Amino acid sequence: MSTPSSPVHAQAPESPSRVVPDADRSSILNAVQARAATARVQEDQYESEHDARQRFRRLIDPGILRADPAKARPALELLLKLADNIINNPNEEKYRSFKPTNKVIQRDLVEVKGAVEYAVALGFRATVRDFQPYYEWNPKYTDQLRIGADMIREDLERQDKQKVYSQRNLGAEKQAAKEAAEKVKLAYIDDRKKKAEHDRLERERRLRAAASPAPPATPARTTPVSRTQPRIRGEGRTLNGAVEPPPYSPNAHPDDRIAQPSADDAAADDAADEDAEEDAEMSDADDGTELRGGRRLGD
């Protein structure tokens, strides 16, 4: 019995989408090369036009912008319109000239310092036709017209971005100022509420104090009478008249100690003793007089 042979996997043909004909390959290669060549030409052209771009930028700023900022944008927009009309309609003769006596041209171009100089840099030259002044564009200034229009467009875009940024910042500043004012207002309201609550509590406290009965009078404190023995001032005297100080005991109670007499007390005591001695002498003198005048009772 024969066994079936294993199937042989045939190589699948390439997908038609992966197969690129030689003609298509060459066309793609040519397109890539043309694009690279165009990029190189543009780079070379950009480098060669660097000086011209810088000159137009200086004519815009500081030339037109710093002379009269309020009229600068209308002047730039009018110059860009004149240039774009020629670029977009190269065969139309009516777009290649303008009259400086026109009201719009007079207001937005002639009266704006630096605007006529920019039009001359674009290729417009002053001339007279039928006794009327004109500015006509010369086709040999095509490159200058294109570069000048690009520089105006670049500056207008910059102004638009700056305006949006300024409005955004202004809006943020207004919002911040509004929030700050709201915080101050809330703080003021909160302070007024707090003060009103404090005043209410103070009024209630005063009403309660006025309605409550007066507390009983506190009896006056009496000073207790000292029971200490009076101290004898002065010097001690003996029967023979000798003055001796009173005994002093350091261990005695302060109230039992006899205070030492001062100089004034001693002087007062001496004066009292002298008065007593004079009284005694006068008494003895009286007794002697009675004895001389008569006999004593009992003799």
Residue 298: its pLDDT value, please?
46
* Residue 182 forms part of a structural domain: no
* Residue 225 forms part of a structural domain: no
Per residue of the chain (299 residues), what is the pLDDT tens digit? Answer: 444 444 444 455 555 555 556 667 777 777 777 776 666 666 666 677 788 888 989 988 888 888 777 889 999 999 999 999 999 998 888 899 899 999 999 998 898 888 999 999 999 999 998 889 999 999 999 899 999 999 999 999 998 888 888 878 777 777 777 777 877 877 888 788 888 888 889 888 888 888 877 666 676 666 665 555 555 555 555 556 555 555 555 555 555 454 555 555 556 666 666 666 666 666 555 554 444 444 444 44
241 contacts 273 by C-beta, under 8 angstroms = no
Helices 142-211 and 115-122 cross at an angle (nearest 10°) of 140
**62 in helix, strand or coil?**
helix
**93 in helix, strand or coil?**
helix
* Residue 299 forms part of a structural domain: no
* Residue 143 forms part of a structural domain: yes
Those residues whose C-beta lies under 8 Å from the C-beta of residue 128, and which sit 6 or more positions away, are 134
Domain that holds residue 92: 50-161
Residue 189: its pLDDT value, please?
83
* Residue 259 forms part of a structural domain: no
* Residue 142 forms part of a structural domain: yes
Residues in the chain: 299
Beta bridge pairs of residue 134: 127
- If one counts the domains in the chain, the total is 1
Residue 293: its pLDDT value, please?
46
Q: Which H or E element spans position 133?
A: strand 132-137
CATH of the domain at 58: 1.20.58.2190
* Residue 70 forms part of a structural domain: yes
Residue 88: its pLDDT value, please?
92
Place of tokens 């570069």: 147
- Pairing relationship of beta strands 236-237 and 132-137 according to DSSP bridges: unpaired
* Residue 35 forms part of a structural domain: no
236 contacts 245 by C-beta, under 8 angstroms = yes
Residue 223: its pLDDT value, please?
65
